[in-house]
Structure 1
């Protein structure tokens, strides 16, 4: 199932979640791919970092092919918690990539390795601490305000990182595909000279809103079959 998300953008998936009433969970803004254009889709392999890479090695022991290592480093910007050797080991373990709530280092080596890594950015300094391990170290990870686990899928691209409950993956996938197909048609029609306002009957929407202030553009889009926003 995760691989079927590979050709769907995170905005499409976010819109699908909203349409279905599945709470959209996004990693904090600013987490980006080390190599622009890299994409990720896979089951969350969660880990909480406490200052040593041993937790990553332990997590890899339980990885299934295609999992994505999701690292909770508390969003710290005073240390880089993962570098080339830990990422290379992840590739050997079969993970599809790494998402870090924090920083990375060894950027040139990560580019050469080619495994997608998403983080806030780079810093040469590694950890100078060793904190007490938490009971949930390998069971869940915090990413901003969200708690994620192996019950979640993670999808990442140039727009950011999203988490979707695995139990809802099928319906979210189908809804995102429908939205994508509608938007592709709309884009072709705009390029052919038919404005989006014409396609969506925007004048009719404004006229109805004038007499019914509670009538929203989202309601109108659902009535006419458009897909700009959710």
Structure 2
């Protein structure tokens, strides 16, 4: 952890990595050039035999129309035991969202295996994250301060929204270790692609292969769309004889 100044919000032994792996910038930009890419990326994941897609009905975007491409910076939370009201009076927080933002950099996505019914992230954290270079967050669990996220232009995809603070209800277990998001295993550095259709998690080792397939898929669909607009018959489009 040399060179990293930590906030002390979590035991350093619970931080697996202070710097996550990053893909070459041309791969990140390649995915961004695809636009709303989750469908093509999901098809590519099917092709290579990797489960990684989650529907937007499960992970819902707080900013309609937003897209996101970046590297997973992971945080795993669990529900905390003890007297919530005593913890609140004593200001005894065991969350570590701030430490995660502290470790974030350009093109990172905060990916939280969170707690249901409780906020795992709020508006102040989003402001910190955006300043650090984060492009958004994915949360299996709740978050709050919806208006702040929209005002900041910090997109979040989550399973829940709630005003109930996690400060006294959540304990941070680990930063930058493996997490499970809606049944999908995500490792730090994995590629995250999200839009209005859904969220895809691409293992970093497969990112270049997925990009190549997604480009071909997008180009083929564009050609077919142009043929539809030009008046090609359904039989022609289906590959049959006219």
TM score, norm. by length of structure 2: 0.75
Could you report, residue by residue, the CA deviation over 1:6-26 in whole angstroms, capped at 9, with x for unpaired residues?
A: 13310011112223x241312
Q: Is structure 2 residue 187 aligned with structure 1 residue 161?
A: no
Contact between 1:186 and 1:196, CA under 8 Å: does it hold in 2? Answer: no
Q: Retained in 1: the 8 A contact 2:114–2:139?
A: yes
Look up the match of 1:55.
96
- State yes or no: 1:24 paired with 2:44: no
8 A Cα contact 2:95 2:170, kept in partner: no
Q: Equivalent of 2:179, from 116, 131, 141? A: 141
Task: Spell out the pairing of 1:7-46 with structure 2 (5 A cutoff).
Answer: 7-8=33-34, 9-19=37-47, 21-27=48-54, 29-46=57-74
User: Following the alignment from structure 1 to structure 2, what is the Cα–Cα distance between the partners of residues 98 and 72?
Assistant: 11
Per the TM alignment, residue 199 of structure 1 is displaced from its structure 2 partner at its CA by 2.2
- What 5-or-longer segments of structure 2 have no aligned partner? 1-26, 80-92
> How does 1:111-150 map onto structure 2 within 5 Å?
111-127=150-166, 129-130=168-169, 133-134=172-173, 136-150=174-188
Q: How does 1:36-115 map to 2 (within 5 A)?
A: 36-50=64-78, 54-74=95-115, 76=116, 78-115=117-154
Q: Quickly say closer, same or farther: Cα 1:68–1:178, change in 2 above 3 A.
A: same
CA displacement 1:144-186 (0-9 Å, x = unmatched): 2122112411100001110001111111101111111111110
SS in 2 for 1:175: helix
Match of 1:228 in 2: none
Whether the 8 Å contact between 2:68 and 2:136 is mirrored in structure 1 is: yes
Q: Secondary structure at the match of 1:99?
A: strand
Q: CA deviation at 1:129?
A: 4.5
Change (3 A) 1:106 1:53: farther
Q: 1:174 to 1:196 in 2, by over 3 A?
A: farther
Q: Identify the match of residue 178 of structure 1 among 216, 221, 224.
A: 216
Answer whether contact 1:53 1:82 (CA < 8 A) is retained: no
CA distance in 2, matches of 1:174, 1:56: 34
Paired residues in the alignment total 200
Q: Is residue 77–residue 171 contact of structure 2 (8 Å, CA) maintained in 1?
A: no
- For the aligned residue pairs, the C-alpha RMSD in angstroms reads 2.2
Residue aligning to 1:222: none
- Unaligned runs of 5+ residues in structure 1 are 205-230
Provide the C-alpha distance between the structure 2 equivalents of 1:133 and 1:84, rounded to a whole number of angstroms: 18
Query: What are the superposed Cα offsets for residues 57-104 of structure 1, whole Å, 9 maximum, x if unpaired?
Result: 112232221110001114x1x222211111111112111111111222
